[in-house]
Structure 1
């Protein structure tokens, strides 16, 4: 159970770290090969680009888990608690609608545009790159809903009698 809990907390950081390591290793090796041996690694730029796309999508989800996305909540903080809950709930519902829309559009984009485009040297479909959009937005949606339900549980928790 500890492994599952750790994966829940650190999934995007773990996957993003793998992407970052691949980017650094491939780019460094390519720079060495290009300038020291005058034989660049074919496809190194494509690999780095693909990993950057996935890294960004894992990053936005990780930021959602840590509540690090920027907010302007000066006005919300001065409101009465009930109104604050209503506004926060409306914002979360708007985000849910937008993220579901982004997931659907990302899925469609991956399967319509990605199937037509090929990654140069490797000759595989760009679907693997474009699928970062729906996967990243889905992870972000899960993280936002998790925090929303945790917050609601805290707000509506009944104090212990005794």
Structure 2
């Protein structure tokens, strides 16, 4: 199963143990749903890395992380092993970067477009927030990308596309806000 903690000579950290348990729960959920994507996206997670200093970031990564963490706190945040920051590119079927994925311990996840600081999605406590119906096809593709083998992105994140209740409630909220 993806995101299992691999055996090492050292004891796993509390974050690794917690992450492994949460990954089993998230990736073990049934994806049974009547929903069929309007646009089928094929996404893959690539270029995974775990930088520990702002000097290890590309200019785009630096800008995006500063927008979340803040400039003053970023170096300390990255140096703290407890955070276990991960960054990866999300590419389409042609290998073009369509998102940048950031995650760190205890369920933080942020999805940005390839450049800029406008969030495409974010999570606390592992659950990506549902903002609008237009996200659902992307959620399907991101869920499949995270469940695929080999990408090494370990922060378990739930792009819950299959639960119609999440999207129905969202539809009602959009209707009441726009009416």
Normalising by structure 1, we get a TM-score of: 0.23
Of Structure 1 and Structure 2, the greater strand share is in 2
Larger radius of gyration: 1
Q: Return the structure number with greater helix share.
A: 1
